[in-house]
Amino acid sequence: MSEILCQIDESVALITLNRPQKYNALTAGMLDALLHTLRQLDAQPEVRAIVLLGCPRAFSAGADTGTLAQASATELWRSGFSEKWDQIATIEKPLIAAVSGYALGGGLELALLCDIVIADTRAQFGLPESHIGIIPGAGGTQRLVRAVGKSLAMEMLLAGRRLSGEEARQAGLISQLTAPEALEDSALTLAKQIARAAPLAAMMIKKAVAASFEMPLSAGVAYERALSALIADSEDRATGLAAFNNKQTPRFQGR
């Protein structure tokens, strides 16, 4: 049975983490397969948004602790296991995480790599690594602080606090909270709305927002202006303006 499932409906791809018996705990092989699938979708012009879904009990309960416990420090360092999360961050298509159940440890770190996170009322978010003698290794200490602020992030990291779906919404970690039965449809509806945007514009927006975490404001604004000038030369811009003036729906080609 494949641990990474993928289906494409017109311009939207749905990836499902499919290891429910282990709460979608992420092994190196599973992460490799996920990254391979994401790269394939990123290279397909017809795919314009990607939804990442888990199972009802768990989006992902984290990295497989059995895998981690068996590896030496040198083996972990040479494996590139944690660096695979960084490679997921390079995907240019918009990514939506749809979270139900546990999003813990590496599972939360995976969700934090996505551009938008939505969740249902069964969701639980946490980084419990300190309580098993380790620390996050895939960006959790960095990205969680940027998502929810220092105090709450430190409480989650040091005290093992878990956030419910409603708490995550109030903290700004997620943008939508749904009923469990509505989660997948809500994520796909959002993805279809994103897919109607100009692909070049969506890609540039991702780059500009990502850069905002790395640059001072003045440099970030300058980068945004450079991208804004660059996209003015695109066919999509001409298509969008013509459609707007003629009160039509644009058909963007990503050029």
Domain ranges within the chain, ordered by starting residue? 4-195, 199-245
Residue of 25, 97, 103, 109 marked active site? 109
Confidence of residue 250 (pLDDT cuts 50, 70, 90): low
Residue 14: pLDDT above 80?
A: yes
Quick one: average pLDDT of 115-126? 98
CA distances from 135 to 129, 131, 161 (A): 5, 9, 15
CATH of domain 4-195: 3.90.226.10
10 is catalytic: no
Q: Please give the pLDDT value at position 139.
A: 87
Pair 11, 192: CB distance under 8 Å: yes
pLDDT per position as a tens digit, 199-232: 898 999 999 999 998 899 999 999 989 988 888 8
181 is catalytic: no
pLDDT per position as a tens digit, 43-72: 999 999 999 999 999 999 987 766 655 666
Residue 77: pLDDT above 70?
A: no
Nearest to 119 by CA among 198, 187, 62, 71: 187
Q: Please give the pLDDT value at position 72.
A: 66
63 is catalytic: yes
Residue of 63, 103, 111, 208 marked active site? 63
Confidence of residue 10 (pLDDT cuts 50, 70, 90): confident
DSSP strand pairing (4-9 vs 12-17): antiparallel
Residue of 54, 101, 105, 106 marked active site? 106
The 3-state DSSP class for residue 60 equals strand
129 is catalytic: yes
CATH class of 199-245: mainly alpha
Quick one: average pLDDT of 170-187? 97
